[in-house]
């Protein structure tokens, strides 16, 4: 699995069926996206879901706004449904 932070513009070009998990930033300019595909135009790449989760806890104001981050379980087990 590949763990990325991408711009909203890049996210809009991704094939919805290839996205396993997605989460929009508080300011709606970036997305966290997990996918089997390799994406070239990214802001950040993470080796593991643990590293991505840690990043969101350290930068919670960008992603949750409530002083917490995204749990590993949410990243690994939540299925992205396009159009929601």
Model pTM score: 0.91
Contact between residue 43 and residue 29 where contact means Cβ atoms under 8 Å apart: no
For 25-35, write each residue's pLDDT tens digit: 999 999 999 99
Residue with tokens 């990043």: 55
Residue range 44-62: mean pLDDT, rounded: 97
Predicted confidence (pLDDT) per residue in 65-78, tens digit:
898 999 999 999 99
Sheet with 30-35, strands from edge to edge, namely: 19-24, 30-35, 2-7, 44-46
Please report which confidence band the pLDDT of residue 44 belongs to, taking 50, 70 and 90 as the band edges.
very high
Region of residue 50 (phi > 0: left; psi between -120 and 50: alpha; otherwise: beta): alpha
């Amino acid at each position: 699995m590949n763990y990325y932070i991408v711009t909203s513009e890049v996210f809009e070009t991704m094939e919805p069926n290839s996205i396993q998990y997605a989460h929009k930033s508080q300011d709606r300019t970036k997305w966290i996206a997990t996918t089997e595909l390799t994406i070239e135009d990214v802001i950040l790449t993470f080796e593991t879901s643990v590293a991505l989760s840690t990043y969101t806890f350290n930068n919670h104001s960008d992603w949750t706004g409530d002083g917490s981050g995204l749990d590993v379980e949410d990243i690994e087990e939540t299925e992205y449904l396009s159009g929601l």
